[in-house]
Amino acid sequence: MTLDITFKLATFAAVFATLFAAHSFGDHWVQSHRQACGKGAPGPAGRVWCARHVVGLTITKLVALLAVTFVTGLYIHPAWLAAGMGVDAASHYWADRRTTLQALANRLGKADFYKLGEGHLGSGAYALDQSWHVTWLFIASLIMTGGA
């Protein structure tokens, strides 16, 4: 019993650390300028730019997870991996359409914080965006660990 709990904790820690690192790289280095500027635009064009960003980000995370499994021998059941990656990708797309996250911030009384430093890196919108993503990385990691 103790060994099983230790294994699951180690799996969760490895998956979360991997997703966190890959997210940071994918969200800032892999994402193109056009994707960053266009993903929040209204209509089909914005949805396409956001989808392209999420696909690139998801591939980045999968490559990182594959590297960790190859080097460490960690096993993540494919169904749990797919479920976790799907939840992560959907939550990322939802937030990066921008109006959705802004509406949630407004509804939760965070409108002033969301607008803080508007138009600059390090803004309230950016902080809320990244904290949203990290929370869903945590949830995705829990899902993926479920099959360990």
Catalogue the long-range contacts made by 109-114 (C-beta closer than 8 Å, 24 or more residues apart): none
> In tens digits, what is the pLDDT along the chain, a chain of 148 residues?
576 788 889 999 999 999 999 999 999 999 999 999 999 999 999 999 999 999 999 999 999 999 999 999 999 999 999 999 999 999 999 999 988 999 999 999 999 988 887 766 678 888 899 999 999 999 999 999 986 6
Q: Which candidate, 56, 78, 55, places its Cα nearest to that of 66?
A: 78
Give pLDDT, residue 124. Answer: 85
Q: Which candidate, 8, 6, 22, 39, places its Cα nearest to that of 85?
A: 22
Q: What angle do CA 60, 20, 102 make, to 5 degrees?
A: 95
User: Whole-prediction pTM value?
Assistant: 0.89
Q: What angle do CA 127, 132, 135 make, to 5 degrees?
A: 125
Q: Which candidate, 23, 14, 33, places its Cα nearest to that of 134?
A: 23
Residue ranges per domain, the chain? 2-145
Report the C-alpha gap between 101 and 98 in whole angstroms. 5
User: Helix (H, G, I), strand (E, B), or coil: what is residue 91?
Assistant: helix
Give pLDDT, residue 148. Answer: 63
